[in-house]
Chain A
């Protein structure tokens, strides 16, 4: 049975349309009604088979290579957990989910071509989180199991990719911070919005989403508490307590200068507010002092801004490496590399740009 008989084209057309955030009518308008809404619907349902001309037309309008419409391996993301604003529209949500799914599919296709198979093993699988103190233990356990020591992790994205987790850094939809999912084939995915966000916030979201992927919470724990515990995991993982105490030079502090906090921020890549919250959780500062700092930061720098900057950028290298390896070993053509990466043949040919 070929791809047309299985209605792969129809299903993929619908997914590409969702990824572009278009209704059937909007797609018909985009192709200037050279294919009607009714005809598009028939293609999606598999009642009509596309000609080369129709395929080229929808590929162009949906900004996809023709290859996308016949990709057979369809991955199910399973339950997708979001960190989003309530204003996120259904259409944008579907677009982000589809982009995330498409990324995993492209990674998997490349891995299959290269014969690279990575079975992800969750080091925290045996732990059931019933209370907060177990979260800190789990964060320490993860650092130990992944041989990360207690030092700062410069590029979390690359580290997770090396552990077999797919990380997609997106820039498009403002109302979503991140999502996590485990595909039906056991591939873990973390998607993080990097649009106009400081690196420290991006890093925090990456580990927050990682917590959703790796931690299993007791059933009685409410969703909002789970969110807070994932936040806590991110803090614990990003700054191990022993390191923090070492940097502050004492187990308790009555006063801390902003310079000290900025030094910690720029060393560990975590925001001042998250550091202060961690200090409070570890009882290194008292609640009143914590509140004073929050008031000071808000009054001086505004609700979200703060001084100091973590210099190392979060960057994904996984896909780039796979594409370059497949090209170098002659396992894919330049055109196939373009189809998988979203770059043009010319950009790849000239060795320009980074692939994502």
Chain B
């Protein structure tokens, strides 16, 4: 089933941005009909030069909007409530409440907290699935990316990757 994400606002964390860069999917991602936003604190976490260049390009192309107006008092209140989350993580939560929108995150802790707060959360595998379902990527191309994913991210969700591989293979 194709999930309609037209005009949906997605708020990205650093982990998903890095995943998309490393999987060479950052440009492909913007074929999806979404309005992508993030915070300046998230952008500041991308320190690898190659990744930073790729992210700066989608920002300058107007594909990714960076919000630098987070409410610091609200963000610090969130970090106080969740000592396991960083200031940048909480800036994503704060923006998700304010905009509001779907959180796109590849980090388990942030995803769990967002879900606990009734926010909708999606990850890298959801992006891949959407790209296939909306015919921006073939199943074969997706399988190549799924094979690559655990090699570029040691904390990639291996079980979920296998489930998606199985689903794609069954459907082919």
In the complex, the answer to whether A52 meets B154 with C-beta atoms within 8 Å is: no
Binds A, one of B27-35, B73-81, B140-148, B161-169: B73-81
Looking at chain B, what size class is its interface with the partner chain?
Answer: 35 or more
In the complex, the answer to whether A334 meets B107 with C-beta atoms within 8 Å is: yes
Mask of B77-97 contacts with A, CB within 8 angstroms, 1/0: 101100111111101000000
Query: How far, in angstroms, from A102 to B114 measured CA to CA in the complex?
Result: 30
Whether A338 contacts B48 in the complex (CB less than 8 A), given A70-B76, A330-B109, A330-B112, comes out as no
- Could you say which residues of chain B place their CB within 8 Å of the CB of A72? 80
Whether A60 contacts B112 in the complex (CB less than 8 A), given A335-B85, A349-B153, comes out as no
- Could you say which residues of chain B place their CB within 8 Å of the CB of A346? 18, 46-48, 51
How far apart are A149's CB and chain B's nearest CB, in angstroms?
Answer: 38
- Could you say which residues of chain B place their CB within 8 Å of the CB of A349? 15, 18, 153-155
Whether A330 contacts B72 in the complex (CB less than 8 A), given A53-B40, A59-B44, A72-B80, comes out as no
- Could you say which residues of chain A place their CB within 8 Å of the CB of B152? 350
Whether A350 contacts B15 in the complex (CB less than 8 A), given A2-B76, A67-B87, A109-B83, comes out as no
Query: How far, in angstroms, from A335 to B13 measured CA to CA in the complex?
Result: 9
- Could you say which residues of chain A place their CB within 8 Å of the CB of B48? 344, 346
Of chain B, the residue at the smallest CB distance from A67 is B87
Looking at chain A, what size class is its interface with the partner chain?
Answer: 35 or more
Partner of A339, one of B13, B86, B153: B86
Q: Is A86 an interface residue (CB 8 A)?
A: no
In the complex, the answer to whether B86 meets A350 with C-beta atoms within 8 Å is: no
Partner of B72, one of A52, A334, A339, A350: A52
In the complex, the answer to whether B80 meets A333 with C-beta atoms within 8 Å is: no
Query: How far, in angstroms, from A335 to B91 measured CA to CA in the complex?
Result: 12
In the complex, the answer to whether A331 meets B84 with C-beta atoms within 8 Å is: yes
Of chain A, the residue at the smallest CB distance from B50 is A346
Best-surrounded residue of B15, B48, B72, B154 (most CB of chain A within 10 A): B72
Whether A345 contacts B15 in the complex (CB less than 8 A), given A333-B110, A351-B154, comes out as yes
Of chain A, the residue at the smallest CB distance from B43 is A56
In the complex, the answer to whether B47 meets A3 with C-beta atoms within 8 Å is: no
29 contacts between A and B (CB under 8 A): A2-B73, A4-B72, A4-B73, A4-B76, A49-B72, A52-B39, A52-B41, A52-B68, A52-B69, A52-B72, A52-B91, A65-B87, A66-B88, A67-B79, A72-B80, A113-B83, A330-B108, A331-B84, A333-B84, A333-B107, A335-B13, A336-B85, A339-B87, A339-B88, A344-B45, A344-B47, A344-B48, A345-B46, A351-B154
Given contacts A52-B72, A326-B84, A350-B153, 14 further A-B contacts (CB under 8 A): A4-B73, A52-B70, A52-B91, A60-B44, A66-B88, A333-B107, A333-B108, A333-B109, A335-B45, A335-B89, A339-B87, A345-B18, A349-B15, A350-B152
| Chain A residues in the interface with B (C-beta under 8 A) | 2-4, 49-53, 55-56, 59-60, 65-67, 70, 72, 109, 112-113, 326-327, 330-336, 338-339, 344-346, 349-351
